[in-house]
Every structure is written in structure tokens, then in C-alpha cells.
Amino acid sequence: MAAVSLSGKRVLLVVSGGIAAYKALELIRLLRRQGCGVTCVLTDNGGQFVTPLSLQALSESKVYTDLFSLTDESEMGHIQLSRAADLLVVAPATANILAKMAGGMADDLASTVLLATDKPVLVAPAMNVRMWLHPATQANMATLKQRGVQVVEPNEGAMACNEFGPGRLAEPPEIVAAIEALLAPGAKPLAGRHALVTSGPTHEPIDPVRYIANRSSGKQGHAIAAALAELGARVTLVAGPVSVPDPRGVTVRHVETAAEMLDACQSALPVDVAVFAAAVADWRVEQAATGKIKKQPGAAPPSLALTPNPDILATIAAAGPRRPRLVVGFAAETDDLMANAQGKLKRKNADWIVANDVSPETGIMGGAENAVHIVSAAGIETWPRLAKDDVARRLAKRIADALG
């Protein structure tokens, strides 16, 4: 599991009503394994899916359910309860409780505790896809984020209601990772490590106004650079032309062509880990025109002679004293994903290949989510479809574990 300890930390876990409430039991187990104390608040609707006894057995703490319990109020009032923990976590967070939080309502114990607290709050939404995408829910989420509430975005997939889309509760390890990031910012498993990340497309000029490019947005590569920095790494990000902002705490070198990207990568060496997430153009024009190529009436289209671009992944991964200890490549494919990724792993001398299907119907290229497979000599590890930030955090933790 995660390398960051939560020993001595305390979480107040609010379990609201939804089929995903059963995952709260696994979340408690993982937090307790990390040495984290857990106290639960169970809503009336949450009690339709999990029992106070189950939560108490796993958390080894009293479970609170009633705002007007004389016993609970005499032992620990709801105000003290809201402030006794280091972090309040709502998992699952239904559309109802998110609306209450956004509206400042306090009509039960859970909503009252959330309104009365002076501690940070993390929510993990879970609901039907239409409820999640409804403008009211999205407006509530925007309000909560603006107020500083942290969010573990829901995953996309099949739901208990037989619909498919975003709205599934994030997996417990993802929620634990978000909790660690908030409660253990000083625990940096990659402190002292230097990481190199490439991101975005390259633009290979045809003439001064035209170029060969692709649809890469740079969102995944930039998210990986940010996630590695969060774990303490000194990160050099070599970015092609993108519109996403530079991540904080990262040294960024902006380039345009594959040749410039290779030069920037080589000048960043030595590094402990290199993650090649950029979608580098395979070819460039052999001789780019110095002036704009004009269309001539009746003339045939110009012929473009192409030549291969340098192979950045293979160059850096080649055996030698400057090879990074861990080299991670990406394989964005539309056909034969696993076969192509396994071939790339061997051909490029990489340690891992992060393979993803970028067929147009997936919406991954340029989108906000990714569905990846980690291909290595040990086999294939398939991850669920996640927000690209969550893929980045999960990959960064995997890198931290591998580097020890």
C-alpha cells in the first residue's frame, strides 16, 4: 500500500446514503492499517446500507448517528465532534449531502458537524450519472471547491442503476491517497529524487505558419509532474506547446519540436526516473520551407518529404551510466493495445509502459479522464477509468514504491 504513514492522525468519516456506502468499510480498514484513528458519523440514509455495528467494529470507535442524543451530547457535543479530528471526510458524498453543504444547512448530525467544523473537509462524491452531471450538482461542487473543500472526483463505469458514466465512488486506495496528501504533507517519499517528465504534443514545422501535430492536451503529463512534486521530487517538466498552465513547484522547459524536446531531456540528466508522457510526432518535414507555401491555381498540392524524428524514449532508456533508474514510456494506441505496448516495452528498453486506448470514441485524447494499463516485465496491471489527476497520483505512488 501507500508509503506515507498516517500514524497519530484522526479522521471523522461521514457516511451518507448510497449503495457505495459499503466501500466505507474498506476505507476504514485501510486507514486503520495506516495507523489513522477513525470516528464515524452515519446518516439515517447511510444506515440503510451499512450498520453502526460494522463501522464500529472496524473503526474501534463509537459511531454517532443522532443530533439530539442526550448521551452523545453529554459525552461529546457535536461542536467538539466536528473539531476533534484532523480532517473530515464524506464518503460516499451523495447529491443530497453536497447540496446541504453548499447551502449551509444543518438539519441532522452530519450536516451540522460539517457546518460547525474548523478543520479541512474532503468529499468523495457518489451518485447516478444524471445526478452528477445535473447543473445543480455541478454548481454545488463549484461552490464547495471555491470554499476550499477538497474533492476526490468520482470514477466512470457501470453503476448499480444499470447506467454507465461518471458518478462511481472513487476506490478506497484513491481516497486514502488524497487523505495522505492533506494530512501528511511533510512525508515525502520522493524527497531527494530528480524526476524528468515530458508532456504535450510536438509541433513539427512545414513552413512558418503550418506544422504537423496531434491532439495531445498535455493534461496527463502535467498532472504526473505535479503529483511527483507533491511527493517531494525535484521535477523537470519538458513541455511541448500546450494550453494547460505550468504546475506549481516544477521546473518547466518549453519546447516546440521533437529535436528540442530530446535536447532538453538530455540536458536534464542525470535523473532517478523519467516519465515520457508526451505525444511526440513520429515524423518531421525533411526541409521546412522558410516562407509560407502558397496555393497556386491549377497546381498540384506540394509534396512533403518526411523523415523520422529522434526516438526520445529509446535514446534515454538506452543502457549506459546516465540511464535513469526507472524509465516509463506511454503507448497511445487505437488498435492492438496490449500487443503494441508489450512490443514497445522491449523495443525501447523501458521499465514500464503506460498503455491507453485513444480511439476517438474513448474521449481520452484531450479529455479529462484516462484508462490505463501498466505493462512491465512482471505482467499487465489494469486500472479503472479515472480522472487524469487521479491516474497521476496513483502512478506517482507506484514510482515512489519502486524507487524505495
Paired strand residues for 198: 238, 276
Q: Pick the closest to residue 356 from 343, 346, 369 (CA basis).
A: 369
Residue 138 and residue 159: Cα distance in Å, rounded?
Answer: 19
Residue 30 and residue 165: Cα distance in Å, rounded?
Answer: 27
The pairing of beta strand 204-207 with beta strand 210-212: antiparallel
- The grid cell for 80 is 467538539
**Start-to-end C-alpha separation, the chain:** 13
- The grid cell for 363 is 474521449
110 close to 16: Cβ distance less than 8 angstroms: yes
Q: CA angle, 54 as apex, 49 and 55 as ends, to 5°?
A: 90
Half-sphere CA count of 319, side-chain side, radius 13 A:
2
Q: How far is CA 302 from CA 206, 226, 285, in A?
A: 11, 43, 12
Residue 31 and residue 60: Cα distance in Å, rounded?
Answer: 12
Q: Compute the CA torsion angle 392, 272, 381, 124 (nearest 10 deg).
A: -30
161 is annotated as an active-site residue: yes
- What is the distance of C-alpha 36 from the center of its chain? 23
Q: Pick the closest to residue 332 from 172, 191, 221 (CA basis).
A: 221
Residue 169 and residue 20: Cα distance in Å, rounded?
Answer: 6
Residue 271 and residue 78: Cα distance in Å, rounded?
Answer: 50
Active site residues: 161
